[in-house]
Amino acid sequence: MSFSITTWNINSVRLRMPIVEQFLVRYKPDILCLQETKCPNGEFPMKPLKALGYEHVIIHGQKGYHGVAIASKIPLTEDHRQDYCGIGDARHISAIVQVGSRRIRLHNFYVPAGGDEPDRSINPKFGHKLDFIEEMKALRADGVPGTSSILVGDLNIAPLENDVWSHKQLLKIVSHTPVETEGMLDIMKKGNWLDLMRLNVPATEKIYTWWSYRAKDWEAADRGRRLDHIWSSQDLGPSLDRIEILREARGWNRPSDHVPVTAHFRF
DNA sequence: ATGGTCGGATGCCGA
């Protein structure tokens, strides 16, 4: 059987519902994970998602900032939300999905962006990001026997040299500083996570999922970064069919600055 | 050359 899961930082789910619906009608993933919904729970657009067959929707929102959600065609059970850094931000939501004979724990994250200055002594937002990364190191992909794991989200870090348009020019730019990229690689190592977007793509090849709104012509400049990720436990690696990065979505009407990334599995 | 553009708790802050 086939199974597909998409991650997309939507930058306001209410404003972006027309392109969310367009994406779901055209690409029909089994599960859609959203970040930066910027939507209180009572105002989340449940009806249009359910009308498209995404009957199982779990949300963790707040007013104005952050917010994560999972919309699924298949049942979501044992959902929970972890308050990373204990400051009440809506940045994580998790559930179990049963796909054929496989039981999978799914995590959807929105990691703090971290502000502009990569120095925690003058920029508390960067300190918060580093603390968040530290807390993620306790999350294991293989912690529960008989349960596989998938972790998706806007992790706001581009870990490898070719996850940014210029490694050299971005070394002091938040999202690609060594303390962040090493921290992310340590999360993966400690938790035994597999970077599915890099599984079949050589490290020499550029991969981007985000292009700044500030560029005059995002496509011509092509100064992107890989901030959005799909990880899994090691056992799911052989079942990955392909990764699809929908670059064209950056050019849709009133786009998010992030594009959808989908993992297709064959179990 | 150190800007630029988005979004929402909008005339600012966070990204």
Which of the following is catalytic: A66, A110, A128, A229? A110
Percentage with pLDDT > 90 across chain A:
100
A192 is in an annotated binding site: no
The answer to whether A216 and A223 are in contact (CB under 8 A) is: no
A154 is annotated as an active-site residue = yes
pTM above 0.75, yes or no: yes
β A228-233/A193-195 pair status:
antiparallel
Confidence of residue A199 (pLDDT cuts 50, 70, 90): very high
CB A7 within 8 A of CB A108: yes
A95: number of CA atoms within 13 Å, CB side? 21
Q: pLDDT band at residue A39, thresholds of 50, 70 and 90?
A: very high
pLDDT at A192: 98
Q: Which residue is nearest to nucleotide B10 (CA to C1')?
A: A64
pLDDT of residue A244: 98
Q: Answer whether A246's CB lies under 8 Å from A23's CB.
A: yes
| Strand B nucleotides within a 7 Å radius of protein CB atoms | 4-9, 14-15
pLDDT value at residue A135 = 98
The three-class DSSP label of residue A143 is coil
CA of A229 to C1' of B7 (A): 23
pLDDT tens by residue, A70-92: 999 999 999 999 999 999 999 99
Query: What CATH number belongs to A1-264?
Result: 3.60.10.10
Delimit the domains of chain A by residue range.
1-264
pLDDT of residue A8: 98
Q: How confident is the model at residue A53 (pLDDT cuts 50, 70, 90)?
A: very high
